[in-house]
Structure 1
Amino acid sequence: MELFDNLALGFGVAFTFQNLIYALVGCLLGTLIGVLPGIGPVATIAMLLPATYALPPVSALIMLAGIYYGAQYGGSTTAILVNLPGESSSVVTVIDGYQMARKGRAGPALAAAGLGSFFAGCVGTLILAGFAAPLTELAFKFGPAEYFSLMVLGLIGAVVLASGSLIKAIGMIMVGLLLGLVGTDVNSGVARYSFDIPELTDGIGFIAIAMGVFGYGEIISNLAKPDEEREVFTANVQGLWPTREDFKAMLPAVMRGTALGSALGILPGGGALLSAFASYTLEKKISLKKGEIPFGQGNIRGVAGPESANNAGAQTSFIPLLTLGIPPNAVMALMVGAMTIHNIQPGPQVMTSNPELFWGLIASMWIGNLMLIVLNLPMIGIWIKLLTIPYRWLFPAIVLFCAIGVYSENNNTFDVWMVGIFGIVGYAFYKLGCEPAPLLLGFILGPMMEENLRRTLLLSRGDWSVLLSRPISASLLAITLLLIIIVTLPAIKAKREDVFVED
């Protein structure tokens, strides 16, 4: 009964006129920018984060959550119509979605992605609501030692689940941790790694790194691609509704994708991305029915399954953020930044100290998913037209918007220069094949890890064995060690590389 009371409180908050408007604005803005090729949820939220400064905390987080859903939905639209994934977890949607578009079935492909995402989003939110309270009770048993061990597990998980080279993922984590050290030492008050630059004594701005690496970096990499590579099937979107046979094929795939995504989304480091790949791999292993189109040639299961898994994983990734205060992926790291900006300390105390925010955000997820279905499927023509806007007009506007947004944070031109520098760094990462998401996790978790480790050693009077003498801390470190051993085994290493191959 307590769960229903909490949800009633959440819907009471989410259904206020102000919060409904912000949820709608978030969904529209997210879809608007997310539909642009190469600009996914991370870049979208990073660019639009300054717009939430003046809002109340609940409205700000509801709007950012709406941006998250909208950007993800837009990513599948781009993947199907342009053969370019709008975000990393839409990579597998490209394979069959684009082939459906080439055969004149872009409408059913878009509808399968939308309906699958809506169902999975609702189930994922229900799981979040059900597990939030018990996990929060567990989180209250965590001390500094447990939080430090949990963050170590999170960073190792980010390395294990990052696509591409393990060495590069470790390198990106280390760069993020080092960037997090820049600023003033909390205990001694001494500036460190600031190189006598006054602006760096407060540390490198979170917005500057996020906007630079993800926003400007993505823009530069997109500008490097010729327009001829992009083929948009604007004329081929006619009937939107899938046929009865499509629904028969879609339904089991959506169910399987939702279950897989809900479980894998909780994992640190990219559960939503891994779940999309895992769902597509699972669908390919299930034998084709008589007359069914092969995978890679326009099978609707190859769109519905991964999109459901992706959205379910996105919803359940809120569980470690809201209950433990630990961001499991780059988008959740941005949400931690947003909460910190609004003077909200992420963690288990949010549920008790600010229940309106906690349950209002959860309730708004249902509303946001419903808004996306109602708004996006009838308005698909508008998003298609947006894809035909020449890049030479579009990107200067985005660059200007980012510059204004980052300047408005501190009214400081130094931040604008920092965004430009990190934009070049982000493009260098792209060219080197380094995934930048672990960097953001390292940057966010680094200072938190340092603070909790110092507290632990202070309480234990410098005795490191306290990390192993406390049962929860020891268990988390044991899981971390097990992960490291497993991922270094040759057979597992080869299998891991196969999972992230889309062809």
Structure 2
Amino acid sequence: MIQSLIEGFGNVLSISTILLILGGTILGLIFGSIPGLTATMAVAICLPITYGMHPIAGMSLLMGLYIGGVSGGLIPAILLKLPGTPSSIATTFDGYPLAQKGEAGKAFSFAIVASFLGGLVSIFLLIMVAPPLGQVALQFGPYEYFAIVIFSLTLIASLSGDSLPKGILAGLLGIGFAMVGSAPIDAFPRFTFGISAFDAGFDLMPVLIGLFAISEILLVAEKRGYQALKVNIKKIKYKVPLKEYLEEKWNFVRSAAIGIGIGILPGIGGGTANLIAYAAAKNSSKKPEEYGKGTPGGVVASETSNNAAIGGALIPLMSLGIPGDTVTAMLLGGLVLHGLQPGPLLIQNNASVVYGIFAALLIANVFMAVLLFLGMRGFVRLLSIPQYILLPIIMILCVVGAYVLITVCLMCMHYYSLALSVT
């Protein structure tokens, strides 16, 4: 294994491939930071570009997009209370209050370190135990998925705060919205009112844009004479003592385990993992009342779990040919596009390419952390922009992101069907 990984690094460590990984990570961070533009979109748009590349170079670009797209969501989540991706929903709960208190630098530091370590642990686990963990995921059936659904519903009690009736009402509304679309058994359209666009139900990203972005803009707009948040940029601290990081060590371990476990299960991904990890961190905390008011533990739980879900989602893809989330579904098409047959024999028959992909993931994870740390001071300066200038720009980006989502979804369906036809 070590010899294969060294060979994989040897295949990746060329100037052209390194630049592809760096470019993919930068582009992924941009997509992740704009509400409505996700890692799935980034991979879908760039997938045709990789057609003429060597498999290692093409997949390295896609790995950079994956890492950057998931991690980029923390930027608007902390600064603007807008989850850039579904994986960063829980980051808004404590990241934004920290920024409001003038501790945006602290929030970014915890988020970046947690993202880096969560991704690092999951990638190493992917390298070491992909085949056995993939077999475990394959054993999950209706009973196990039903148990996960029930467990997810019980999290309402933890996330409701002081008003449980409001939490239950929000949960019932969520169940109601989830019922729109084709029935899972007979594909009969439910509550679509004859509108074909509702056949697949509500897409998560436009719903998040409406709930978080548009609602926040309207709340600010209704406050006449609202003064923009005045933050003294020079007084913001970016360095966090090692002691504070170590205080969250068990939170990190637990959140990484949740992220990897949820990521392995096909069709779930980081959007669920970050909420479950956040609820687990709150329930295990000695001061649960601080969650939602600006505590680093909430940021650590969310960002560790959503990046840990990356390696987890790749485990069933690499070992069984089963995508763990929407991004890995696109990566499945990328493997087929480059003549690689996903499944149990993928690692055995294409060891050099697969370990090259693992090496690209590790390098992209490092690039992600470095780029976020380098750009952190620039991101924080967004707080000094008057909101009457910033919010209209955000509104335009939200509308564009929701519109682009429709086009990219059609592209995803086309490439995925193409991959299935080739297999």
User: CA–CA distance in 2 between the matches of 1:55 and 1:63?
Assistant: 10
**Residue type of the partner of 2:407?**
V
Shift in CA distance, 232/53, structure 1 to aligned 2, threshold 3 Å: farther
The 5 Å alignment of 1:57-68 reads 57-68=55-66
User: CA–CA distance in 1 between the matches of 2:269 and 2:245?
Assistant: 27
Q: 1:419 aligns with which of 392, 407, 410?
A: 407
* TM-score between both structures, scaled by the size of structure 2: 0.73
User: CA–CA distance in 1 between the matches of 2:53 and 2:282?
Assistant: 46
User: CA–CA distance in 2 between the matches of 1:378 and 1:74?
Assistant: 14
* TM-score between both structures, scaled by the size of structure 1: 0.62
Deviations 1:260-300 (A, max 9, x none): 222222112214233212221122122436xx981111111
User: Unpaired runs of 5+ in structure 1?
Assistant: 140-146, 179-208, 404-417, 424-439, 453-503
Q: 1:110 is matched with which residue?
A: 108
DSSP 3-state at the match of 2:89: helix
In the alignment, is residue 332 of structure 1 matched against residue 328 of structure 2? yes
The 5 Å alignment of 1:294-373 reads 294-373=290-369
**Residue type of the partner of 1:120?**
G
User: CA–CA distance in 1 between the matches of 2:295 and 2:73?
Assistant: 19
The 5 Å alignment of 1:3-152 reads 3-134=1-132
**Residue type of the partner of 1:264?**
I
Equivalent pairs counted in the alignment come to: 376
User: CA–CA distance in 1 between the matches of 2:105 and 2:45?
Assistant: 30
Q: 1:249 is matched with which residue?
A: 247
Shift in CA distance, 215/386, structure 1 to aligned 2, threshold 3 Å: farther
Shift in CA distance, 451/53, structure 1 to aligned 2, threshold 3 Å: closer
Is the 2:109–2:240 Cα contact (8 Å) retained in structure 1? yes
Is the 1:34–1:86 Cα contact (8 Å) retained in structure 2? yes
Deviations 1:90-142 (A, max 9, x none): 11111111010001111111111110111111111111111135568x69xxx
User: CA–CA distance in 1 between the matches of 2:185 and 2:336?
Assistant: 18
Larger Rg, first or second structure (1 or 2): 1
DSSP 3-state at the match of 2:244: helix
User: CA–CA distance in 2 between the matches of 1:94 and 1:222?
Assistant: 9
User: CA–CA distance in 2 between the matches of 1:21 and 1:69?
Assistant: 15
Deviations 1:467-495 (A, max 9, x none): xxxxxxxxxxxxxxxxxxxxxxxxxxxxx
* Between 378-387 and 264-273, the greater mean CA deviation after superposition: 378-387
Shift in CA distance, 175/59, structure 1 to aligned 2, threshold 3 Å: farther
* Between 383-392 and 83-92, the greater mean CA deviation after superposition: 383-392
Instruction: Give the C-alpha shift of residue 343 in structure 1.
Output: 3.5
The 5 Å alignment of 1:133-172 reads 133-134=131-132, 165=174, 169=178, 172=181
In the alignment, is residue 376 of structure 1 matched against residue 372 of structure 2? yes
DSSP 3-state at the match of 1:379: helix
Identical aligned residues as a percent: 27
Is the 2:86–2:205 Cα contact (8 Å) retained in structure 1? no
Instruction: Give the C-alpha shift of residue 31 in structure 1.
Output: 0.6
Q: 2:284 is matched with which residue?
A: 286
List structure 1 segments (4+ residues) > 4 angstroms apart after TM superposition.
133-136, 149-178, 213-237, 382-389, 391-400, 420-423, 443-448
